[in-house]
Amino acid sequence: MKQTDFYFRHNRREFLKDFSLALGVTSLGLPLVSFASGCQPKGEEKQEQSAQGTAQNKKLGIALVGLGSYATHQLAPALQETEHCYLAGIVTGTPSKAKEWKRKYKIPDKNIYTYDTYDQIADNPDIDIIYIVLPNGMHAEYTVRGAKAKKHIISEKPMATSAADCQRMLDACREHNVKLSIGYRLHFEPHNQRVMELGQQQVYGPVKEVEAADSFVFTGNPNAWRLDKKLAGGGPLMDLGIYCVQGAIYTLGQSPVAITAKFGQVTRPDYFDEVEQSISWEMEFPNGAVAKCRSSYNDNEGLLSGKAEKGWWKLDPAYSYSGIKGETSEGTMDLPQVNQQARQMDDFARCVKENKETRVPGEMGLRDVKILEAIYEAARTGKRVEVKV
């Protein structure tokens, strides 16, 4: 059967609903599948909430916090394409950026904040959602302050640099009754969604092995925050390897139970004196499958592949913003390229408007940071580390 046949054979909504119900949720209450077309309805609430949803047609205002590379080149342009949210405000420490963004995106002065005036966002009804795009080590502080301002939050990945910080973020959002989501854009990308279907629905039988690799060659400023342990939390594992952890989990629909890992050699000590240059690790899953993963700041890779009893698949590149390519043992995946960030933000805006669960919640971010911590522990100690998520 051709990929497209399988993909479109089902009435998507019904198929996905049945599939989600069949697979259920993890012990953390996380959805195991994440390729539904909208945010996750909560059982009987569905009908009532969709009626409520039609009444809430207003676009929600998003404020981006930290106008670095990702905010500038991906999120702000994506917010020009979104249907349920728009770029309403910014938080920046650089006056020249404030001026430039104000002009380019017609942002009114009253919606422009510095890190010092950030908490005043609480008084701004134009801002519904705060999107934190700061260095990893700052996500926790800005999420907690954003929750206190009673705004819904998207935090970029990794959610934080420790599981304890992730928990603080979750607690703050619960206390202030706001939603928390992580910037896991690939849950909205058709090729990665197809891998979720192939693996979790066992289209080619049970999955035996996953291979995942995400790396780039780090050049430029050796003082960049990504090389600073406090701001980054770690090296390529925190930045890129998290996609491999995610990829393996959404292929299998399970969380790993044990991990072995090892750091690679440091060949560029001028860059990698605080964080690892590279790391490789293996994750064991409850069904006996193994995921072999690697991540490096001194290589170029972007692979997610799976082997099942009766077939295989491979995405390469798997994690890029565009140009993702996929094939299976039956041929090329014929799937559209989409604006992942626009879909991700629109989905969260809909979850807020309709009071539904996001498919990429803070709990998922915490789960992943716990796994990253276990990978580091396994690499440091040389021991097989059991994971409890």
Binding site for ligand NAD (CB under 6 A): 66-71, 93, 133-136, 156-157, 183, 185, 225, 231, 239
Helix axes 12-23, 190-200, angle to 10 degrees: 50
For residues 134 and 142, the answer to whether their CB atoms sit within 8 Å is: yes
Q: Token pair of 59, please?
A: 């676009």
Nearer to ligand NAD, 36 or 67 (CB): 67
Fill in the DSSP letter of residue 93: S
At closest approach, how far in Å is the CB of 94 from ligand NAD? 6
> What end-to-end distance do the CA atoms of the chain give, in Å?
37
CB of 323 to ligand NAD, least distance (A): 14
Q: Is 36 helix (H, G, I), strand (E, B) or coil?
A: coil
Closer CB to ligand NAD, residue 308 or residue 342?
342
The rounded distance, in Å, linking the Cα atoms of 42 and 347 is 15
**For residues 280-311, b (16+ Cβ closer than 10 Å) or e, as one string?**
bbbbbbeeebebbbbbbbbbebbbbbbbbeee
Query: Measured from the CB of residue 309, what is the shortest distance to ligand NAD in angstroms?
Result: 33
Shortest Å distance, C-beta 232 to ligand NAD: 8
Nearer to ligand NAD, 231 or 258 (CB): 231
Number of CB atoms found within 10 A of residue 171's CB:
13
For ligand NAD, the closer of residues 66 and 361 by Cβ is: 66
CB atoms inside a 10 Å sphere around CB 169:
27
Taking CB positions, which residue lies at the least distance from ligand NAD? 68
- Least distance to ligand NAD from the beta carbon of 196, Å? 18
Residue in the structure block whose two tokens are 């701004």: 124
Minimum distance between the CB of residue 380 and ligand NAD, rounded to whole angstroms? 22
Closer Cβ to ligand NAD, 16 or 303, answer by number = 303
Q: Are 295 and 319 in contact (CB under 8 A)?
A: no
Q: Nearer Cβ to ligand NAD, position 90 or 352?
A: 90
Q: At what angle do helices 163-175 and 362-381 cross, to 10 degrees?
A: 170
Phi/psi for 136 (5° steps) reads -50, -40
Helix-helix angle 242-252:190-200, to 10 degrees = 50
Catalytic residue list: 157, 243
- In the DSSP assignment, the letter for residue 41 is P
Judge contact between 7 and 194, C-beta under 8 A.
Answer: yes
